[in-house]
Amino acid sequence: MPIESFIEPEKDPRIEPPTAGSELATLTGFLGWHRGTLELKCSGLDPEGLARRSVEPSSLSLLGIVRHMADVELIWFRRIMAGRDAAYRFSSREDRDGDFDNVRADPALVAEAFQAWHEEIAFADEFVAAAPDLDLAAKRLTSDGRDRMSLRWVLNHMIEEYARHNGHADLLRERIDGAVGQ
49 compared with 180, residue with greater pLDDT: 49
Percent of the chain at pLDDT above 90?
A: 79
Percent of the chain at pLDDT above 70?
A: 94
151 compared with 57, residue with greater pLDDT: 151
How is the chain split into domains, by residue range?
A: 21-177
CA distance 164 to 150: 21
Is the full-model pTM beyond 0.95? no
pLDDT of 173 > 50? The answer is yes
Q: Decide: 37 and 157 in contact? Cβ < 8 Å.
A: no
Note the CATH number of domain 21-177.
Answer: 1.20.120.450
pLDDT of 3 > 50? The answer is no
pLDDT of residue 136: 96
